[in-house]
């Protein structure tokens, strides 16, 4: 079973691995039912979804109808105006068949124009905290992609009492000195304020090669099942402050959960920096972000 720890100041004790329900975005109901038992098998009690993840919210509705109390339920909105963000939240509640979500997150709040709109009077930030006060949500957080997001999260936290953040975090990204410094500054701020820190792209390998043939279950190419994936998962979970959100490639759900439980029993294995460097070379692992391109994903 997975270890658990407090999810910031929310009062919830979450599994260190959070199920990224983007994996259900294009799934048939029977596929969803086939993979759901893995959550109970490994003790995953936290689900992260978004309004923009295809049919994922709809696919979660049957699970939530029978087991709502078992899961901390988080969703996201990419809207920046207050009216649009409120409408997005209400659609998410309807699609999932619930009266309340535990966490609503402003999705990928990184671009300057979007940030200003979200924080302006009548913007999404105001609307989501109002929804919290009304009881439609319990907590409000922010997410983001790209190299600029740790700094933007610090800026957002200076303006509003968000209770969670989400950032890309893997050993290839942390090998970028400037990004590592920005992440460390964000982690320090979150520790001081008891803000939960979620991570994404833990098992990212690189952007898809142009000549790749076959299934693309996520927008980036993930690491295959094996020791390199195990070490990548362990690298994230070695940091006790962090939660790991699983990939949208369902084929990697069990390997990721298994790697997480292994990392719990062998915590120092993830600190083999020579092995991680060898993984980067052997698997041609490259950072997904360059500070501009794909930041809006």
In a domain, 294, yes or no: no
Q: 103-151: per-residue pLDDT in tens?
A: 999 999 999 999 999 999 999 999 999 999 999 999 999 999 999 999 9
Q: 14-73: per-residue pLDDT in tens?
A: 999 999 999 999 889 999 999 999 999 999 999 999 999 999 999 999 999 999 999 999
In a domain, 63, yes or no: yes
Q: 207-266: per-residue pLDDT in tens?
A: 978 777 767 767 888 999 999 999 999 999 999 999 999 999 999 999 999 999 999 987
**b/e map of 103-120 (b: 16 or more CB within 10 Å)?**
bbbbbbbbbeebbebbbe
User: Predicted confidence band at 296 (pLDDT cuts at 50, 70, 90)?
Assistant: low
Domain extent for 86:
4-282
User: Which pLDDT does position 211 carry in this prediction?
Assistant: 78
In a domain, 76, yes or no: yes
Number of domains in the chain: 1
In a domain, 287, yes or no: no
CB atoms within 10 A of CB 87: 15
User: Predicted confidence band at 272 (pLDDT cuts at 50, 70, 90)?
Assistant: confident
CATH number at residue 274: 3.20.20.100
Look up the pTM and report it.
0.95
In a domain, 297, yes or no: no
In a domain, 86, yes or no: yes
In a domain, 209, yes or no: yes
**b/e map of 182-201 (b: 16 or more CB within 10 Å)?**
bbeebbebbeeeebbbbbbb
**Inter-axis angle of helices 112-119 and 149-159, to 10 degrees?**
20
In a domain, 15, yes or no: yes
């Amino acid at each position: 079973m997975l270890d658990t720890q407090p999810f910031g100041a929310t009062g919830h004790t979450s599994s260190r691995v959070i199920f990224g329900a983007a994996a259900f975005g294009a799934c048939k109901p029977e596929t969803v039912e086939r993979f759901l038992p893995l959550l109970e098998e490994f003790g995953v009690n936290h689900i992260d979804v978004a309004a923009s993840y295809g049919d994922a919210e709809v696919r979660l509705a049957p699970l939530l109808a029978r087991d709502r109390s078992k899961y901390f339920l988080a969703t996201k909105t990419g809207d920046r105006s207050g009216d649009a963000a409120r409408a997005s939240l209400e659609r998410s509640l309807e699609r999932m068949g619930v009266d309340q979500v535990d966490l609503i997150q402003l999705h990928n709040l990184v671009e300057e124009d979007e940030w200003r709109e979200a924080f302006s009077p009548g913007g999404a930030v105001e609307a989501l905290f109002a929804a919290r006060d009304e009881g439609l949500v319990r907590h409000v957080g922010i997410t983001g992609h790209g190299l600029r997001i740790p700094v933007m999260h610090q800026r957002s936290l200076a303006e509003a009492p968000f209770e969670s953040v989400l950032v890309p975090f893997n050993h290839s990204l942390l090998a970028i000195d400037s990004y590592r410094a920005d992440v460390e500054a964000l982690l320090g701020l979150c520790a001081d304020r008891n803000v939960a820190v979620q991570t994404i792209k833990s098992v990212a390998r690189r952007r898809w090669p142009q000549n790749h043939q076959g299934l693309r279950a996520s927008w980036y190419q993930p690491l295959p099942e094996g020791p390199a994936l195990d070490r990548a998962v362990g690298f994230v979970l070695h940091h006790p402050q962090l939660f790991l959100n699983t990939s949208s490639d369902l084929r990697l759900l069990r390997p990721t959960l298994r790697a997480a439980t292994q990392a719990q029993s062998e915590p120092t294995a993830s600190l083999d920096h020579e092995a991680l460097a060898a993984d980067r070379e052997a698997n041609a692992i490259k950072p997904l972000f360059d500070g501009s391109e794909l930041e809006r994903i």
